[in-house]
Amino acid sequence: MMMHLTLLLPFRVFGDIQNVKRIVVETRKGAFGLLPQRLDCVAALVPGIFTYETDREYFIAVDEGVMVKAGQEVLVSVRNAIQGASLDELQDSVEKQFKQLDEDEKNIRSVMARMEGGFLLSLEKFRQQ
């Protein structure tokens, strides 16, 4: 008896995996494992490493989300996910993505500062009229 894992992101299906032997998720209370015989449950997930095993072990870095196990079906819905073949590869991928997010955030802050400056300048001109 094996589990069927569906991993959802906000706008797409990240993974639809059959024949899953075990799953390990991270919650605020710590990590716990799921086997096919485990009772149905729901868990709020925290950012961390999501692990599942079919023919070998797979690692996915996930953002916060929720996991629901009902029978042999396991549904995981998270904000973001990055898969890596190994933990080292996963760490590299996550670091690259965080660097890109930091760069994007800097660009957004710069644009917002220019917009605020332009708005304040326009407001001051309007007040002087």
CATH class of 3-84: mainly beta
The better pLDDT of the pair 111, 33 is held by: 33
Q: CA-based angle 47:17:4, to the nearest 5?
A: 95
Rounded-to-integer distance, Cα 72 and Cα 59, Å: 20
Q: Which pTM does this prediction carry?
A: 0.71
Q: What is the mean pLDDT of the chain?
A: 85
* Max Cα-Cα span within the chain: 77
65-70/73-78 β-pairing: antiparallel
pLDDT at 101: 63
Residue 47 Cα to chain centre, angstroms: 7
Tens of pLDDT, residues 16-65: 999 999 999 999 999 999 999 999 999 999 988 899 999 999 999 898 89
Give percent of the chain with pLDDT exceeding 90. Answer: 52
Rounded-to-integer distance, Cα 101 and Cα 72, Å: 36
pLDDT at 55: 92
